[in-house]
Amino acid sequence: MASKDDIRSSRRLHRRTFTPEHIATAGESLARHGTAWAAELSPGGAATFAVYLGVAFEPPTIPLIESLHEAGHQVLLPVCEPGRLLSWVYWTPSTAFVRSAYAPIDEPEGERLESTVIAKAAGIFMPATAVDRDGNRIGQGGGYYDRLLQGLDAAGQRPPTIAVVYDDDLLPSGSIPAEAFDRPVRQVLTPSGVVQLHDGPEPA
């Protein structure tokens, strides 16, 4: 079995072969399927969803963020803090972005809220470089989301989570080594649609 670092590097190299047209089309499809997933989780109407800003060759999430906002939902975007912690900022169309001091991502400017706000969200869209069909996820290597989910799981307050990847970033079962601190996901959002990995609930 390949290491997480090897898989992460391989997927990043593969993503660099994508054309701007491929990436743009993927963003439109992710927005459509992601907004439909959000609607299923919020049958009463507007809700709050945690998303993230996809940069470079990552699956683009701006179309999803804008689509959720147009559907009446509130969107929270992450800010990296010391100690591999995340804070969160509510996004609006006027939100400005700056480069993170702690990770290779762009972050929103605005009032920063502690991660306890995520416990009240209807769902979390999570970044990933790969996910296997057992639900094991490889992120960017910083450990921010694993730590976030550990805290939510410990409190029994984890909202539904869905990892966002390109279609061929979804790997066969057993492809990704699982470690004790990992928090598996049960659903994956790809340009082709939402993939349900298991019938059971997410671990609490």
8 contacts: CB under 8 Å, gap ≥ 6: 129, 130, 138, 140, 141
In a domain, 28, yes or no: yes
The whole domain housing 12 covers 4-196
* pLDDT (0 to 100) of residue 200: 42
* pLDDT (0 to 100) of residue 204: 40
In a domain, 83, yes or no: yes
pLDDT for 158 beyond 70: yes
For residue 28, what pLDDT band results from cuts at 50, 70 and 90? very high
Gyration radius from the chain CA atoms: 16
In a domain, 204, yes or no: no
In a domain, 142, yes or no: yes
CA distance linking residue 55 with residue 80, whole number of Å: 15
59 contacts: CB under 8 Å, gap ≥ 6: 23, 26, 27, 30, 164, 165, 166, 191
pLDDT digits 0-9 by tens, 65-103: 999 999 999 999 999 999 889 999 999 999 999 988 887
Q: Of 75-89, 104-118, 186-200, where does mean pLDDT reach its minimum?
A: 186-200
pLDDT digits 0-9 by tens, 48-60: 999 999 988 899 9
* pLDDT (0 to 100) of residue 198: 64
In a domain, 144, yes or no: yes
pLDDT for 199 beyond 50: no
* pLDDT (0 to 100) of residue 184: 85
* pLDDT (0 to 100) of residue 187: 95
In a domain, 202, yes or no: no
pLDDT for 174 beyond 70: yes
CA distance linking residue 152 with residue 8, whole number of Å: 25
For residue 33, what pLDDT band results from cuts at 50, 70 and 90? very high
Q: Of 13-27, 62-76, 98-112, where does mean pLDDT reach its minimum?
A: 98-112
CA atoms within 13 A on the CB side of 79: 19
Per the prediction, the chain carries an average pLDDT of 90
In Å, what is the CA distance from 139 to each residue of 36, 60, 134, 136, 183? 24, 15, 15, 10, 11
CA distance linking residue 116 with residue 111, whole number of Å: 14
CATH number of the domain encompassing residue 165: 3.40.50.10420
In a domain, 203, yes or no: no
Task: List beta partners, residue 75.
Answer: 49, 91
The number of folded domains in the chain is: 1
Q: Angle at the Cα of 168 (from 74 to 73), degrees rounded to 5?
A: 5
In a domain, 201, yes or no: no
Indicate the pTM of the whole model.
Answer: 0.91
